[in-house]
Amino acid sequence: MYFHKYEHPMNFYSPREGELEYNWKSLGDNVYHYWVEGARWEGNPSQAEFDTLDFGNKESFCRSDLSTAGGFSLIPEENGSLETLPEMPFGVCGSKWILRFRLNSCDRFYGMGEKNNGFEKSRIRSKFWNTDVWADFSGDQIENGITDPMYISLPYLLLKRGKFWYGIQVNNPYPVFMNTGAGQVIEGVQETNEGGGEFYIGSTDGEPDLFIIAGMSAEDVTQRLYRLCGTSPLPPLWSLGYQQSRWGYACDSDLLEIDEKMEEHEIPCDGIWMDIDYLIGYRVFTIDREKFPALDQTVKTIASHGRRVVPILDPGVKADPEYSACREGLEQGLFCLNEENRPYIGFVWPGASYFPDFSLPEVRSWWASKTQEMADLGFPAFWIDMNDPSAGSAELEGMRFQKGTLPHEAFHNQYSVAMHKATWDGLKQSMPEERPFVLSRSGFIGTNRWGAVWMGDNISNWHHLRKTIEMALNLSLSGMAFFGADIGGFGGDASDANFIAWHKACFLFPFFRNHCADGQKKQEPWNMGPLALELSRTFIRARYALLPYIYNLFITQEQTGAPLIRPLLYNYEGFDLIDDQFLVGESILQAPVLQDLSEEPLNIRTLVLPEGYWLDINRSQWIPGPCQLDCPVEEEQTPLFIRAGSILPVKRAGRAEGELNEVDLLIFPEPDNCTSSYTYRYDRGNGYEYKNKGFGEFRVQISSHAGKMQVTIDSIKTGYAPCTVRFGLYSSIKEIMIQTGGEEEVLKLEDEKIPFCGSIMEFQFSREIVIN
């Protein structure tokens, strides 16, 4: 597989007349399905699931046309149509195919999932093929360059054209390629003119199958993409807390020490993660009892402190007939075969290894049963690695699927999501009343349905921190809402300044885990310098304070498809190129520091704010937008802004744990008059009671005028217990009128200073009230 060689339209030709059947269907609400059938392809081996019945009969604002040559157009009432080229809109070359579109000079491109080649994707050539980045690229490329493709393949393109947005989802597991107007370059020097005026999408094989979504905003298109490809099921609350991991926790005492140090340093933490050290010779589904003789008790001890132990699972099964998993796989024919119908062998951590053929339902069932056995030992979650799949130094082409009948390219990109689901199934079988949690390195269409991903092996430097933000924004736009990065960097030794910056930048990411490699500098917070310990703890605690807000964003993601992390263009016009700031829901805007400010003459972060009023929490100032701002940054701060009118549910100050039915509602009214509302939902943080009985739910409406505020509370549904609430106003108002259940009451407010995201802020707090 050549990563940087790409197909070009000049090598494609129009199909013979009548050879292919072109199909077009409106699914409602401006979602369309386009597919092509013909003898050139043996069907579509995609196992991706699409919820095509979710769009009903909502009227579309576009007129659509399908041509006899395989081209199509979506024409809205105003300028901004999406059209294929009039000449050879669809081309073929053997089993390869290409779909060519007209390119406008004003076009902007986004999406493409996990790619570190920039946020906006104009004039980009790329292909979609899950790689093991550290094995497939040079050290220089990895450390400070661009590595494309990466671990996760989401063949999705988001186009902004004038006032309209179009999403194009390619349902094809073969290597998809895209070109968004990049010209051809000879030997990296000489430009040519071939390929201008168009952008194109294609694949090396497999039936063409695309979904096209039209909308008036990025928000509109993105939410329907999630509804099509799968929203993230509500995760267990503990998985949203801070997680501590390292390749190198090699015995029971290592795990217990981490547990004890978290208590000693008063760092809230919900998970301690084990890498491959716990395995017998790296054999999956084993435990090295010489290193971990008391692992069962260790897991129970750590659980008694409110933390989980999460082990790793790799797909490679050591080629050792004395090893039960290997013996079962050989006897039952569960492994991938090569061209000679013999079990394919790659070289990963155990050495020579076989690979489960996850394309087969019986293999997924077997893996789920093995996972269940592990989960029964007390493990409530797993993380799955090397599932790109990686086969070390072995050529991947020989790894075939479907008992040797399906070529490697047809299932390579799907391997990880099939393993992800099988692991999820095993946890579900072991603990049917709890929500499974599985973290994966690689992914494909639909991975969002089965848990989270991390962005793979990164480096402890500023380049990787900057690229993490770019990738996060496009993952969110491409149908993957639950993600995180290795905080502090996996490889290399993080400086204290860089370690602190990782925590500040990512403390509100959906998944928050500190992880690093064996042989590198230990980067648990207490192994860094005193300031790094203090500030990482500050922002870990800040995350816990905002867990009710984050949890409610996950509820919204499951219900509507709205991602948690959003580029500014998701909610606001005019910010097409802002790639180093993001929104967390609608209420929080963060502009993290992504360079070492100690090397700059002034600690200034230049940023932009959208329309409306925004509270600079570090300087306690309301700032009217839109504007560009030079923001002074102190060592202990991160530039963070709250949208005027926001109501944020937070955990009580100082409480690392606690129920979701005990919250403070922080109200940030506009400087003048303000009307706003927020619906808060809560449950036990695990289990499926919410699906059967719903959430505890109430709506808060605020109205302020001339120094007075009225708060109306509408109880929508009583949860498993009443909700105890304090109201905290960022305002000089000293009393509020509460209306609930037809009754009115005046609540006096008292000054209280609380830590909030690296700052100390003063609020006016009410006494507690109980909402039934």
Domains of the chain in sequence order: 9-229 (2.60.40.1760), 655-771 (2.60.40)
What average pLDDT does the segment 259-274 reach? 97
Mean pLDDT over all residues of the chain? 95
CA distance 483 to 511: 5
Tokens of 137: 């690229």
* Residue whose C-alpha is closest to residue 119's, from 566, 506, 641: 566
Please tell me the predicted confidence (pLDDT) of residue 301. Answer: 98
Instruction: Select the more confidently predicted residue: 191 or 505.
Output: 505
* Residues 738-749 pLDDT 10s: 999 889 999 999
* Residues 466-483 pLDDT 10s: 999 999 999 999 999 999
* Residues 285-312 pLDDT 10s: 999 999 999 999 999 999 999 999 999 9
* CB 358 within 8 Å of CB 367: yes
* CB 696 within 8 Å of CB 717: yes
Please tell me the predicted confidence (pLDDT) of residue 187. Answer: 62
CA distance 766 to 772: 18
Please tell me the predicted confidence (pLDDT) of residue 656. Answer: 47
* Residues 197-232 pLDDT 10s: 999 999 999 999 999 999 999 999 999 999 999 999
Please tell me the predicted confidence (pLDDT) of residue 597. Answer: 75
* Residue whose C-alpha is closest to residue 373's, from 324, 317, 442: 324
* CB 683 within 8 Å of CB 696: yes
User: Which residues is 108 bridged to in the sheet?
Assistant: 160
Please tell me the predicted confidence (pLDDT) of residue 652. Answer: 78
* CB 314 within 8 Å of CB 349: yes
Say whether 72 sits in a helix, a strand or coil. strand
Backbone angles phi, psi at 355, to 5 degrees: -130, 125
* CB 407 within 8 Å of CB 372: no
Please tell me the predicted confidence (pLDDT) of residue 1. Answer: 82
* CB 177 within 8 Å of CB 112: no
Decide: residue 707, CB within 10 A, 0-12 exposed, 13-18 middle, 19+ buried: exposed
Identify the band that residue 673 occupies on the pLDDT scale cut at 50, 70 and 90.
Answer: confident
Please tell me the predicted confidence (pLDDT) of residue 603. Answer: 85
Tokens of 658: 């606690």
* Residues 608-624 pLDDT 10s: 999 999 999 999 999 99
* Residues 543-580 pLDDT 10s: 999 999 999 999 999 999 999 999 999 999 999 999 99
What average pLDDT does the segment 272-282 reach? 98
Say whether 137 sits in a helix, a strand or coil. coil
What average pLDDT does the segment 503-526 reach? 97
List, in sequence order, the alpha helices (H) in 323-447.
Answer: 324-332, 361-375, 415-430
Tokens of 627: 């504007």
**Length reported for the chain:** 772
* Residues 353-408 pLDDT 10s: 999 999 999 999 999 999 999 999 999 999 999 999 999 999 999 999 999 999 99
What average pLDDT does the segment 259-280 reach? 98
Please tell me the predicted confidence (pLDDT) of residue 726. Answer: 96
Tokens of 316: 């490679």
Tokens of 131: 């790689």
Decide: residue 255, CB within 10 A, 0-12 exposed, 13-18 middle, 19+ buried: buried
Please tell me the predicted confidence (pLDDT) of residue 655. Answer: 46
For residue 380, whether the previous peptide bond is cis, meaning omega lies within 30 degrees of 0, is no
- By percentage, how much of the chain surpasses pLDDT 90? 91
